Structures are given as structure tokens and as C-alpha cells.
Amino acid sequence: MSVGIRRLEPGDDRDRFCSGHPDLDRFFHRFADQNQFRHHVGVTYIAVEDDAILGFVTVSPSEIEIDALPADRRRRLPRYPLPTLRLARLAVAQSAQGRGIGQTLLRFALTLARRMADEIGCVGVVVDAKPDAQTFYLRYGFESVSAVEGVLLDRPEPTPMFLPLSAIPCPDNR
Ligand SMILES: CC(C)(COP(=O)(O)OP(=O)(O)OC[C@H]1O[C@@H](n2cnc3c(N)ncnc32)[C@H](O)[C@@H]1OP(=O)(O)O)[C@@H](O)C(=O)NCCC(=O)NCCS
């Protein structure tokens, strides 16, 4: 059976998911549902195969200060905070890593950024990359930027990274 991506639903069994990263697993087990259904601070999409959850990506709207962008990306943009899609969390089950599921979830999130740009505005995607995931994001064109917003308590500290909308393909080549 092929892997599909869909929104997390209240009845989904998240307990068995294990990426090997305790903070990502704790978020998925305990907070993904209330953040989505009660607080509306983010939406989680899951990769599913035969009813098993193989991975998830959580996204939320965010902003980036223009001064956080690399100098060549600032040209012609207004000086107020710029709307972005935040890739808040991305994880693949240990048993399913290396099968292209992380890439599929990331590409799905990039299509959401395109839709956000069309419907409400979005200049790109931001992520706080964990040290061992930085090269994963570099492969897709993300670049390091100054701190985006907020204080992160994660240790070791993640690296803020940004992918401009111009680097995300249009579905219909507009
Ligand atoms: C990082 C992660 C999401 C990648 O997911 P995955 O399903 O294993 O990756 P994929 O199979 O889609 O890999 C796609 C490509 O990226 C490469 N890749 C995978 N993980 C990588 C990493 N950590 N660093 C660099 N490249 C990586 C793969 O080799 C593959 O390359 P290829 O297309 O040339 O074969 C997954 O390993 C994971 O959940 N890790 C733990 C949690 C984590 O670090 N999340 C990111 C938080 S910011």
C-alpha cells in the first residue's frame, strides 16, 4: 500500500509513534492534538501506510523580520514583519527512516506555503533545524538566517533556516 498524507484526526492512534527524538515524540503523543483542535496554534499532517503513522509535520503561520534575512533577499521587501510558514516539527518513525517519507512531508509543507502565499500571503518557509537535520534542509535550498522570533529552550540550540517562496516550485508553472 502506498503512503498517503492527511491532516491529523482526533481519533488517530499516536502512542506507538517513535522517531527516537524524545522531544518530538512527546510533542506528538501529548500536544499535537490539543494544539490543533483546541488551541489552533498549528496543524499536523501525518504520513500513513496501512493505518500506521510513519511520520508527521506540524506547521503554523509565523513572521520573519526583514533584517533576519540574508542581505540579497531583503531587496524590495517592506520593512514590517513578513508572513512565513513555520515548519514547527518534522519527524519520521525510526522504522521508516530512509524511505523518502521525510522528503515527502517536507515537499507537502512547501505546497502549503505556496497555498498560503496565494490565499493570505507568505514570503517563504522557516524552520529551527536541529543540528543533525541541518544538512537535510540544506539539500532543499534552505539557508541559515538570524534568529526568527521567540526564545527557544532546545539544547543543543537549533539553527534558524529559511527557504524563499521563489525556491518553491509553482504547481502550475505560473
Ligand atoms: C530528518 C528526517 C525527518 C529525515 O526523514 P527520512 O524519511 O529519514 O528522510 P528521507 O528518506 O526522505 O531522505 C531524503 C533525502 O535526505 C537525506 N537525509 C535524510 N536524513 C538526513 C539528514 N539527517 N541529514 C542529511 N541528509 C539526510 C537522505 O539520504 C535522502 O537523500 P537521497 O534523496 O539522496 O537518497 C528523519 O530522519 C527524522 O525524523 N529524524 C529525527 C527527527 C529530526 O531530526 N527532525 C528534524 C527536526 S528539525
Domain residue extents for the chain = 4-167
- Ligand 1 pocket: which of 57, 87, 103, 136 to mutate (most atoms <8 Å of CB)? 136
| 4-167 fold | Aminopeptidase (3.40.630)
Q: What is the pLDDT of residue 159?
A: 93
- Taking CB atoms and a 6 Å cutoff, what residues make up the pocket around ligand 1? 19, 21, 24, 90-92, 97-103, 129-130, 132-133, 135-136, 139
**Could you list the pLDDT tens digit for every one of the 174 residues in the chain?**
689 999 999 999 999 999 999 999 999 999 999 999 999 999 999 999 998 999 999 999 999 999 999 888 888 899 999 999 999 999 999 999 999 999 999 999 999 999 999 999 999 999 999 999 999 999 999 999 976 555 556 667 899 999 999 999 887 655
**Strand pairing report for 124-129 and 82-92:** parallel
Atom number, ligand 1, closest to the C-alpha of residue 133: 23
Specify the DSSP class assigned to residue 133. Answer: G
DSSP string, 7-67: E--TT---TT---S-HHHHHIIIIIHHIIIIIS-S-EEEEEEETTEEEEEEEEEEEEE-GG
Give the span between the Cα atoms of 6 and 1, in whole angstroms: 15
Q: How far is the CA of 47 from the centre of ligand 1 (A)?
A: 14
Cβ distance 91 to 25 under 8 Å?
yes
Specify the DSSP class assigned to residue 128. Answer: E
Give the span between the Cα atoms of 140 and 9, in whole angstroms: 29
Q: What is the pLDDT of residue 70?
A: 86
Give the span between the Cα atoms of 35 and 120, in whole angstroms: 21
Q: What is the pLDDT of residue 90?
A: 98
Q: What is the pLDDT of residue 151?
A: 55
Print burial letters for 49-86: b (CB count within 10 Å at least 16), e (below 16).
eeebbbbbbbbbebebeeebbeeebeeeeeeeebebbb
Q: Whose CA is closest to atom 29 on ligand 1?
A: 98
